[in-house]
């Protein structure tokens, strides 16, 4: 199973956030104003849930184990594309974070960057998720034995259990440093 079933469940929550981001982008375009608190919510969600939690399991468990297998050229290409999309998403989220900070300090030039970054992320994630759900996750499971799948599932559970502790340890460390 792992983390395929769990990863697909996580995709549904990411899709819900992407839908909210699209609505917020449309609202911002109409009002010509950004909501800094919603930008913070977007950045936190993408960095913590979509990237650290979700992509973390993909990259640090599933992809790591797939690299040990003799993948078809198609599956290798798709996996490389997915990793590159994760990197691109991190970079775009970083740009959104920086633009949000600038906007909060009164820099109106940051507004178009915010719109661009949200639009880019809203465009990326549905295609990325569809690629994983329909062209990658299920086919690559054939490379694994039942025992390997069970081992990855257990590793995914352990990964999730540690995540909340890592997040809030970082929150406290940041607060202590300010």
**CATH code, domain with 49:** 1.20.120.520
Q: Is the pLDDT of residue 4 over 90?
A: no
In-domain check, residue 115 = yes
Quote the tokens at residue 21.
Answer: 């981001």
Domain count for the chain, please give it: 1
**CA 12, CA 10: separation in Å to the nearest integer?**
5
Burial category of 41 from C-beta neighbours within 10 Å (exposed 0-12, middle 13-18, buried 19 and up)? middle
Domain that holds residue 150: 4-171
This model's pTM is above 0.85: yes
What DSSP character marks residue 69? S
**CA 71, CA 86: separation in Å to the nearest integer?**
20
- Over residues 60-66, mean pLDDT: 96
- Over residues 136-158, mean pLDDT: 93
- Over residues 52-70, mean pLDDT: 95
Confidence of residue 169 (pLDDT cuts 50, 70, 90): confident
**CA 112, CA 147: separation in Å to the nearest integer?**
50
Confidence of residue 122 (pLDDT cuts 50, 70, 90): very high
Q: Are 121 and 46 in contact (CB under 8 A)?
A: yes
Cα radius of gyration (the chain): 18
In-domain check, residue 57 = yes
Please report the pLDDT score of residue 3 as a whole number.
52
- Over residues 168-175, mean pLDDT: 80
Q: Are 157 and 57 in contact (CB under 8 A)?
A: no
In-domain check, residue 176 = no
In-domain check, residue 177 = no
Taking residue 52's Cβ as centre, other Cβ atoms within 10 Å add up to 17
**CA 39, CA 41: separation in Å to the nearest integer?**
5
Tally DSSP H helices, then E strands, for the chain: 8, 0
In-domain check, residue 70 = yes
In-domain check, residue 140 = yes
157-162-163-168 Cα dihedral, nearest 10 degrees: 160
Q: From 28, 166, 19, 45, select the one nearest 97 (Cα to Cα).
A: 45
Please report the pLDDT score of residue 177 as a whole number.
82
- Over residues 108-121, mean pLDDT: 98
Please report the pLDDT score of residue 1 as a whole number.
42
Mean pLDDT, the chain, integer: 93
Q: What is the pLDDT of residues 15-35, one digit of tens each?
A: 999 999 999 999 999 999 999
More confidently predicted of 135 and 165: 135
Quote the tokens at residue 90.
Answer: 């991190």
In-domain check, residue 178 = no
């Amino acid at each position: 199973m792992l983390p395929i079933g769990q990863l697909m469940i996580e995709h549904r929550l990411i899709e819900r956030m992407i839908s909210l981001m699209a609505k917020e982008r449309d609202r911002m375009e109409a009002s010509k104003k950004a909501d800094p608190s919603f930008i913070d919510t977007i950045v936190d969600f993408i960095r913590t849930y979509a990237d650290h939690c979700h992509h973390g399991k993909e990259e640090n468990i599933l992809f790591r184990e797939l690299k040990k297998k003799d993948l078809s050229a198609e599956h290798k290409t798709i996996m490389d594309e997915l990793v590159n999309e994760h990197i691109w998403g991190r970079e775009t989220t970083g740009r959104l974070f920086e633009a949000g900070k600038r906007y909060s300090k009164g820099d109106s030039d940051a507004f178009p960057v915010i719109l661009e970054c949200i639009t880019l992320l809203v465009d990326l994630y549905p295609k990325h998720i569809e690629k994983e759900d329909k062209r990658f996750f299920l086919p690559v499971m054939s490379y694994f034995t039942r025992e390997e799948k069970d081992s990855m599932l257990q590793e995914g559970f352990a990964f999730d259990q540690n995540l909340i502790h890592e997040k809030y340890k970082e929150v406290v460390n940041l607060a202590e440093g300010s």
